[in-house]
Amino acid sequence: MTRLRHRFATHEFGELDVHVRSLRDTQEFQDDAGEASDLGIYEAQWALFGVLWASSDALARLMSHYDVAGRRILEVGCGLGMASLVLTQRHSDITATDQHPEAEAYLAFNAALNGHEPVPFTRTGWIDDDDQLGRFDLIIGSDLLYERDHPALLAAFIDRHAAPTCEVLLADGGRGGLGRFARALEACGFTRCAAIERHPDDPVDPLGRPIARFQRRVTET
């Protein structure tokens, strides 16, 4: 059995300190039972869930001070779940999701590392329609648009789990799918709002991209 190598680090978000165990780099790989490959996650993509990206740091930093009071929150494609860990420290109503078979264990380990109970988690893919997640007031994610079909799949998944009034925040990784995602989400009744710029006191995001913001308001009858 392959032995994975890890890094441990403490990330500071204002008054919040979040301790995280991540994979050492994107070359790590362990799929002895073939569970990931059965889901279409092969060696080149396997470790992507378990390393920290600039966009996930930017989203977590925003969640350290964003107004989330009274809102049911969903993190999509959470990976290590940095934003979910920050929201847990703020005692928010957060549920995390990811398709990767190792994501839940890493998120639980990191929650325990910070002295918290496991973050509520559902393993699901964007084409799954039987996950029993329900609907959310705020849906967040970071660096999710890798493949050409991801914008449409992600928009449809969000639409299924968005409350009639819902806000969507996406820290994009700059892989070219944001425009298609925006159009797909707008077809679901969302409006693209002004992006959220980096706070001047935050560390510089090497990607230099603001966080995309969308909102939908539907009056139920």
**pLDDT tens per residue across span 137-172:** 999 999 999 889 999 999 999 999 999 999 999 999
Q: Which of 18, 125, 43 is nearest to 77 (CA)?
A: 125
Q: What is the pLDDT of residue 175?
A: 85
Q: What is the pLDDT of residue 174?
A: 84
| Domain range summary for the chain, segments of one domain joined by + | 51-216
Q: What is the pLDDT of residue 206?
A: 54
Q: What is the pLDDT of residue 202?
A: 63
Q: What is the pLDDT of residue 157?
A: 97
Q: What is the pLDDT of residue 221?
A: 53
Residues of the chain with pLDDT under 70: 1-2, 199-208, 219-221
* Distance separating alpha carbons of residues 128 and 107, to the nearest angstrom: 21
Query: Which strand (E) or helix (H) includes residue 56?
Result: helix 54-63
Q: What is the pLDDT of residue 160?
A: 96
Q: Which of 103, 5, 107 is nearest to 46 (CA)?
A: 103
CB 93 within 8 A of CB 73: yes
CB 49 within 8 A of CB 125: no
CA 104-107-112 angle, to 5 degrees, is: 125
Neighbours of 154 (CB within 10 A): 24
Name the CATH topology of 51-216. Answer: Rossmann fold (3.40.50)
**pLDDT tens per residue across span 11-35:** 999 889 999 999 999 999 999 999 9
Token pair of 176, please? 């070219």
Place of tokens 């190792």: 102
Please tell me the pTM assigned to this model: 0.94
CB 71 within 8 A of CB 91: no
Longest dimension (CA), the chain: 57
* Distance separating alpha carbons of residues 162 and 213, to the nearest angstrom: 14
Neighbours of 137 (CB within 10 A): 17
| Residues whose CB falls within 8 Å of the CB of residue 16, separated by 6 or more in sequence, listed in order | 64, 86, 89, 90
Neighbours of 108 (CB within 10 A): 16
Q: What is the pLDDT of residue 3?
A: 85
